[in-house]
Structure 1
Amino acid sequence: MTMTLMVSACAVFSMPAMAIKYYGAAPLESRWSVTVDTPLECQIEHTIPNYGLAVFRSKASKKINLGFELEMRRPMGKTANVALVSMPPIWAPGDQASYIERLKFYKQFNGYIDGQAAWTMLSELEHGRYPTFSFPEWQSRGERVNVALSAVSFQQTYNAFNACVSRLLPFSFEDIAFTVLHYRESGDDLDHDSLARIENIASFIKNSPDVSLVLLATYTDGRGAKVVNQKTSEKRAKLLKEYFIELGLPEDRVKVQAYGERRPIADDSSPVGQHKNRRVVVSLERSTI
C-alpha cells in the first residue's frame, strides 16, 4: 500500500472534528453461521448489533463467484461514497489500517460488492482483521458511520463455507434452462454427450424445488414414414416425461410436445443433418416467488 493510502486510511478513522458512530460485535457477542449449504448456494451470515446483517454468498456456476451484502435495518437515505478498510483488532492497536476498496452505497438499497473486493474481505477476516465500511452519516452533519465485521469466531464457519463452495454444481440455472439433446441413430437412447447434459439437468432439479415447468419438445429425422416418425417422437417424449417425474416433479409441471419429423433445423439428406434433426429441446422455467 502506498504512503498516500496509508495516510488516507488513518485519516478516515482519526478525524478529530468528526464524531464516529461505531457498529460492530464485541468479541463475546461475535457470531458467524452457515445459513445455506446446498449444491446450488452457500451462505454465511454475521450479525452486526444494532445495525444489520453481513452476508457472503456463492452460487452454482461455471465460474467461482462470491458476493457480499450488507443488509441494513436502516437503508441509506442518500447515495454516499464509502471507504472499505481493513482494520486491526482492538488488541493490536499498533497495526495499521489499509484500504480494500472505494465504493458507493446507493439510496434505499443495501450495500453490495462482489468480485475481488469480496474475496479480500474474507482473506482479511481469516487473518484476524476487521473489514470496516466508513461513510458519512446521512441523517446528521459532522458524523461518520463505521460498520465493522468481527473476525472473532470466524474461522470455523469459514471452513464450512469453503467446504460448501467446493460442492457447488459447476453450472447455473441459466446454463441448463435451454438445452438441446440428441439421440443415437436408432432407438430411444440419447448420445453420450446428451446423457451427461441431462444428468446435469437432473442434478439441478433435484436440488431446486423452484423449478416450475419442464417443457420437452422431441423431433426425429426425416427417414422412414411420417406416421412411424411421429410415434417414435411421442414415445421418446413419454419416456423423458417419466424420467423427470421420477426426479420428483409433479406430472403437471412436465409438458411434452412431439413434432416427429416436422421443423427440421438441418439438411436431412446427410448423416450430420439427420443427427441435428434427431433431437429433444429441454426448456426449464423457474418460480419467481
Structure 2
Amino acid sequence: MRKLMAVAGLVLSTTCWAQPRIYVASLDHSRWRLAADSAVECRLEHSIPGFGTGTFVSRAGKNVNLVFELSPLRAQPRTRQAALRSESPYWQPGRAPKPISQVTFYQQFDAMVEQQNAWIMLDELSQGRWPTFYFDDWYAGDRTTGVGLSSVNFRARYAAFLDCQHNLLPYGFEDIAFSVLNYINNADELTPHSRQRLAMIADYVRADPNIGEVVINTYTDSFGTEFHNKQLSLLRARAIKEHFLALGLPDTSIRVEGHGERRPIADNSTPEGRSSNRRVVISLGRPAI
C-alpha cells in the first residue's frame, strides 16, 4: 500500500511539473492602454503580472506596419525558440489552440513579432482569444512556461488604437530626416515640391517630441562675390526659419547655417550646375540613446 501511494505521489508530482507555468493577467487585472497616440506613433500596451509587458506598435511611414514587443522584467539569458499559439480563455473549454508562428527569443533582447503575425495576434484578441508564447524558461530550470495576452478589456482600446493608426503620417523619420530643396531658376522662391516638403517636415516635427533640432544649411552658386554669397545664403536660411516658425515650430529647435558658394555639388560654369548648387539642406536631429 505504501509503495502504491509512493508511486501515485511520484506520478502526481511528475504530472504537476509537466504542466506549464502560465503568466497571464487575471480578470481583475487585465488592463490595456493606449500608451502613445500621435501622428508618428501608436502604442497599445498590456501588463503581464509577474513577467513584463506586451506592446503593439505602429509608426508613421509609407507602408502599413505593425510590430509586437514582449518585454520581460528579467532579460532572456539564452536564445530560445518559442511557439506562439492562440488559446481559448479558461471559461471556453474544448476549443483547440491555433498555431500562429514560431518566434525566436534572442539573448538579452525583447521578443518581437512583426507584420502579418502581429496583425493575426490582434485579430485573435478581438475574437476573445489569448495569444500565448510557450518556451523553456531558463530561470525555472528550463521548465515549459507560457506567457499570454488576455483579451479582457481589449476591444475598447483596440478601437482607439485603430483610430490612431488611421491618423499616422504617410511618411516616417527616415523619409524626411535629410531633405535637399531647390529654388526656381533665376528666383529666390523655392519650387512647389520644395515648399510641400517644408510643410511635411513641419508636420512631422510638431508630432514627434524626440526631434531635438532642425538644422537649415543653405548654399549659393558662385555668381557674385564670396561675401555677397555668404550673406545671401544666411538671408535664405533665415527666411526658411521664418517659414518654419509660421508653421508652428519653436524658435529654440531651429539652427541656421549659411555657407555661401562653398561645397558645390555641381559645375558652376553651367546654368544647370548653378541651379543645383543653389540649394537648401534640412536635417533633423534626435538625441543619442
Which residue in 1 is equivalent to 2:32? Answer: 32
Equivalent residue for 1:248?
A: 249
Alignment-derived partner of residue 128 in structure 1: 128
Q: Which amino acid aligns with 2:36?
A: V
Give the superposition deviation at 1:85.
Answer: 0.6
Closer, same or farther in 2 for the Cα pair 1:254/1:29, shift >3 Å? Answer: closer
* Residue type of the alignment partner of 1:248: L
Aligned counterpart, 1:85: 85
SS at match of 2:259: strand
SS at 2:138's partner residue? coil
Report the counterpart of residue 273 of structure 1 in structure 2: 273
Equivalent pair of 2:202/2:249 in contact (CA under 8 Å) = no
Contact 1:233-1:260 at 8 Å conserved across structures:
yes
**Identity in percent:** 41
> Which residue number corresponds to residue 102 of structure 2?
102
CA distance in structure 1 between the partners assigned to 2:270 and 2:257 by the alignment: 25
Equivalences for residues 1-289 of structure 1 within 5 A = 18-141=18-141, 143-223=143-223, 228-246=228-246, 247-251=248-252, 253-289=253-289
Show the counterpart of 1:6.
none
Deviation readout 1:82-115 (Å, 9 max, x if unpaired): 1101112223322211211111212333222222
TM-superposed CA distance for 1:187, in Å, is 3.7
With over 3 angstroms needed to count, the CA separation of the structure-2 counterparts of 1:174 and 1:34, relative to structure 1, is same
Alignment CA distance shift 1:279-1:231 (3 Å): same
SS of the equivalent of 1:139 reads helix
Distance 2:47 2:117 in 1: 20
In structure 1, the partner of 2:7 is none
Amino acid at match of 1:190: L
In 2, are the aligned partners of 1:179 and 1:283 still within 8 Å (CA)? yes
Name the CA shift for 1:265/1:77 in 2 (closer, same or farther; >3 Å): closer
C-alpha distance after superposition, 1:142-185 (max 9, x if no partner): 73111111112211111110110111111221211111001122
CA separation in 1, counterparts of 2:277 and 2:228?
16
Q: Secondary structure at the match of 2:195?
A: helix
Count of matched residue pairs: 274
Match of 1:9 in 2: none
Q: Secondary structure at the match of 1:274?
A: helix
Closer, same or farther in 2 for the Cα pair 1:50/1:282, shift >3 Å? same
The 3-state SS of whatever aligns with 2:216 is: strand
Report the structure, 1 or 2, having the larger helix content: 2
Query: 1:269: Cα distance to partner?
Result: 4.8
Name the amino acid aligned to 1:29: H
- Residue 255 of structure 1 and its aligned partner are, at CA, apart by 2.8
State the TM-score, normalizing by the size of structure 1: 0.85
Tell me the alpha carbon deviations over residues 11-44 of structure 1, each in whole angstroms, 9 at most, x when there is no partner. Answer: xxxx886132111123343221111101111001
TM-score by length of 2: 0.85
Offset, 1:227: 5.2
- The letter for the 2-side match of 1:128 is G
- Please say if residues 19 and 142 of structure 1, whose CA atoms lie closer than 8 Å, have aligned partners that are also in contact: no
Closer, same or farther: CA 30–240 of 1 in aligned 2, 3 Å: same
- Give 1:248 deviation, angstroms: 3.5
Aligned 8 A contact 1:42 1:59 in 2: yes
SS of the residue corresponding to residue 235 of structure 1 reads helix
Q: The residue matched to 1:260 in structure 2 has which SS?
A: coil
Q: State the distance in 1 between where 2:112 and 2:137 align.
A: 18
Q: Any conservation in 2 of the 1:54–1:68 contact (CA below 8 Å)?
A: yes
SS at the partner of 1:103?
Answer: strand
**C-alpha RMSD over aligned residues:** 2.3
> Hey, what's the Cα distance between the residues in 2 that align with 1:39 and 1:169?
6
Higher alpha-carbon Rg: 2
